[in-house]
Amino acid sequence: MMEAEVIVIGANRYSFKDDAGRIVEGTKVHYFEPVKSEEEDYVGYTPQSANLPYSAFDSLGEVPGRYLAIMSVSLRGRKPMIRVEGFRFVEPVIL
């Protein structure tokens, strides 16, 4: 597992039935890394999001806040993919 410092700026949880009648639920967490993007054609910070289990919503601390993003690397497919597994609260922030 890897960790990275991020700022969580929001989260929402969802629960609905898809067209086949199956329940789809989870938590979507919106965050950014506190390092300005150095990529061409970008300025400032690039917001990102991660989909987590429904129960992850209740385990979040204060938002907005400084968190450690817990990540893993998946080697399935053609190229490695980084997956956010969860967030660990560090401290509140004022934006």
User: pLDDT confidence of 68, banded at 50, 70, 90?
Assistant: very high
pLDDT of residue 74: 85
**Mean pLDDT to the nearest integer, 47-70:** 96
Q: Which CATH number fits domain 2-92: 1.10.260, 2.60.40, 2.40.50, 1.10.357?
A: 2.40.50
Q: Where are the domains of the chain?
A: 2-92
State the pTM of this model.
0.87
Question: Of 51, 2, 10, 8, whose CA–CA distance to 27 is shortest?
Answer: 51
What does DSSP assign to residue 34?
S
Closest CA to 69 of 60, 79, 80: 60
CB atoms within 10 A of CB 60: 19
pLDDT in tens, 16-26: 999 999 999 99
Q: Is the dihedral of CA 26, 15, 8, 62 positive or negative?
A: negative
